[in-house]
């Protein structure tokens, strides 16, 4: 724990990232100019040097040792892990194909090596450990606010299919995937579950709560906020059985007998809507071409780490003069 190192605040102009340098089909010879604009700053910050350095400091000790058992020995130099890590960040932000990521990195690493290194790290549990350390760092520095927690699902495209996908009822039954996430008061994800786009939110509630419980945070939840899709007596019984007695669930229907008609209000469910928006801005999550749930889960872990590290850097720089 505690390997997230945030160095001194940068003084001077903000580094800009040329759109073509993180976009599929760009020409490697395109040189960024000082007046280039940053596309989607909140997401593009994942490629900023301070964010990359902070995440790399935490992830480097978690990486498994390289396999030296090749019969030819060191017949060719091993591609640096940090270069592969940068490739994974670029793919997460842009949603570019592996071949495009290879081109973005000026062919310093092949798409095959990127996939192989990702699979190696997934098998070693690197991304899960990274997410856990990021949550622990946020809780230690800023503190998780579990007095109010909201849960909701979000549907997204999965054109390549694979496990954990299904017909999306909101997208003309095209293949899609879905996550159900629990967010604390700051919008930080504390647990999630993934499944096909045709899976009902109520069916994904239990796995989501299991993930929160696995993180040891379920007992600390004060009030749980849910939308009207969870407004069932059976759901309330399941939640109370888990010790969640303070519930704010939006009522189904617009006309309730004996109750004056009330306008629909978002309430504190906005925190999970913000989380869904932050995650959805990542190209790899918005339109997933992965075919395995473990790869989608790893991408969610990495996106969560980027979100938390960005918050911690903002916290560090909160008193830094802007002029």
Among residues 204, 30, 66, 225, the alpha carbon closest in space to that of 147 is found at 225
Mean pLDDT of 95-100: 93
HSE value, Cβ hemisphere, 13 Å, CA-based, for 293: 13
Domain with CATH 3.30.420 in the chain: 145-289
Residue with the larger pLDDT of the pair 323 and 100? 100
How much is the pLDDT for 260?
A: 67
- Helix, strand, coil percentages for the chain (3-state, nearest 5): 45, 10, 40
The string of pLDDT tens digits covering residues 296-306 is 999 999 999 99
Q: Give the integer Cα–Cα distance in Å for 83 and 77.
A: 13
Helix (H) or strand (E) holding 133: helix 126-141
Angle in degrees, CA 104, 42, 282, rounded to 5: 55
pLDDT band at 221 (very low <50, low <70, confident <90, very high): very high
| Range scoring the smallest mean pLDDT among 39-53, 83-97, 99-113, 299-313 | 39-53
Average pLDDT over residues 118-137: 96
Average pLDDT over residues 176-204: 96
Does residue 42 register a pLDDT over 90?
A: no
Mean of per-residue pLDDT scores for the chain: 84
Q: Which of these, 242, 132, 229, 231, lies nearest to 188 by C-alpha position?
A: 132
Is 3.40.50 the CATH number for 145-289?
no
Residues 6+ apart with CB under 8 A from 307: 188, 189, 278
pLDDT digits (tens, 9 = 90+) for 146-165: 999 999 999 999 999 999 99
Map tokens 């850097």 to a residue. 313
DSSP string covering 277-289, please?
Answer: HHHHTSHHHHB--
Tell me the per-residue pLDDT of 49-92, one tens digit each, with 9 for 90 and over.
Answer: 899 999 999 999 999 988 766 666 656 788 999 999 999 999 99
Q: What is the pTM of this model?
A: 0.84
């Amino acid at each position: 724990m505690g390997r997230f190192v945030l160095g001194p605040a940068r003084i001077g102009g903000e580094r800009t990232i040329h759109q073509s340098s993180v976009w599929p089909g760009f020409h490697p010879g395109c040189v960024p100019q000082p007046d280039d604009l940053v596309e989607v700053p909140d997401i593009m910050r994942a490629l900023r040097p301070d964010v990359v350095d902070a995440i790399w400091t935490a992830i480097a000790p978690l990486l498994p040792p390289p396999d030296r058992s090749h019969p030819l020995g060191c017949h060719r130099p091993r591609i640096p892990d940090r270069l592969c890590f940068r490739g994974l960040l670029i793919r997460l932000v842009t949603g570019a194909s592996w071949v495009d990521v290879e081109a973005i990195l000026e062919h310093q690493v092949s798409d095959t090596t990127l996939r192989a290194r990702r699979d190696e790290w997934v098998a070693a549990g690197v991304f899960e450990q990274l997410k856990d350390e990021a949550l622990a760092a946020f809780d230690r520095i800023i503190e998780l606010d579990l007095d109010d927690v909201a849960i909701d699902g979000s549907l997204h495209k999965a054109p390549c299919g694979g496990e954990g996908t299904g017909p999306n009822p909101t997208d003309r039954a095209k293949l899609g995937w879905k996550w159900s996430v629990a967010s604390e008061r700051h919008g930080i994800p504390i647990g999630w579950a993934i499944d096909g786009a045709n899976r009902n939110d109520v069916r994904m509630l239990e796995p989501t709560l299991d993930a929160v419980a696995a993180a040891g945070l379920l007992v600390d939840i004060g009030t749980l906020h849910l939308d009207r899709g969870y407004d069932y007596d059976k759901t309330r019984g399941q939640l109370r059985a888990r010790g969640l007695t303070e519930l704010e669930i939006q009522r189904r229907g617009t006309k309730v007998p004996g109750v004056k008609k009330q306008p629909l209000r978002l309430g504190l469910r906005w925190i999970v809507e913000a989380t869904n928006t932050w995650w959805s801005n990542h190209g790899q999550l918005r339109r997933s071409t992965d075919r395995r749930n473990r790869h989608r889960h790893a991408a969610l872990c990495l996106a969560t780490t980027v979100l938390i590290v960005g918050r911690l850097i903002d916290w560090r720089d909160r008193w830094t003069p802007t002029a």
